[in-house]
Amino acid sequence: MDYKYINQLLERYWKCETSLEEEDILRAFFSQDNIPAELERYKPLFVYEAKEPVSDVLGKDFDEKILAMVEESQPVKAKVITMTQRLRPLFKAAAVVTIVLTLGNAMQVPFAKQNADPISSYDGYSKPELNHGTSVAMSDSVVLDTMKRSLAEPTAKMGDPIIK
């Protein structure tokens, strides 16, 4: 007898390419008494299911036991969250922004006192740095005495033409 078809089915079975019907054909073949010697080694694999009794079956009360274990008899209480707890992340973010801005302003102080022209201050000796602030009067180059000006020029009256 030619067992070419059975050998082809076995090859496809090892590659996981067989259908359920083809696997039933293999089980039926290996459940026979007359099997060739070269295929005898595969017989226990295919007849195992038919010979072994089903021992790992769940009882009829299994579902009831699991449901009894899972069911909770205590009601779930809602947690009360106050407004302070809700706004706590916002407070933390505001604190971080405040710290960053404070440190940024503190880091600007040493750099603000430097000379605007670093080449003119590099003479080999140190010059005392004058820090007078940002006064408008300090940058004014014209010095006028208002009393002398008013005596030298006549005051204009309303309606007089301006002549210079």
27 contacts 46 by C-beta, under 8 angstroms: yes
24 lies in some domain: yes
Q: pLDDT digit string (tens) for 103-152? A: 998 888 777 665 555 555 555 555 555 555 555 555 555 555 555 555 55
Which has more confidence, 75 or 5? 5
Which value, to the nearest 10 degrees, does the dihedral of the CA atoms of residues 42, 47, 49, 53 take?
Answer: -130
Instruction: For residue 163, name the pLDDT band (cuts at 50, 70, 90).
Output: low
Distance CA 7, CA 35 (A): 12
Structural domain boundaries enclosing 23:
4-51
Q: For the chain, how big is the Rg over CA atoms in Å?
A: 51
Pick from 29, 53, 54: nearest CA to 43: 29
φ/ψ region of 21 (left if φ > 0, alpha if ψ in -120 to 50, else beta) reads alpha
Angle ∠(76,80,83) on CA atoms, nearest 5: 160
Helix/strand/coil for 157:
coil
Q: Please indicate, yes or no, if residue 18 is contained in any of the structural domains.
A: yes
Give the pair of three-digit tokens for residue 15: 């590659």
In a 3-state reduction of DSSP, which class is residue 13? helix
**Residue 96 falls within a domain, yes or no?**
no
pLDDT recorded at residue 122: 54
Model pLDDT, residue 64: 85
| Structural domains of the chain, count | 1
In a domain, 15, yes or no: yes
Q: Which residue has the higher pLDDT, 147 or 79?
A: 79
Residue 99: the pLDDT is 96
pLDDT tens by residue, 5-52: 899 999 999 999 999 999 989 988 988 888 888 888 988 888 887 777
The more confident residue out of 122 and 55 is: 55
Whether 17 is in a domain gets the answer yes
* C-alpha count within 13 angstroms, C-beta hemisphere, residue 96: 6
Is 135 part of any domain? Answer: no
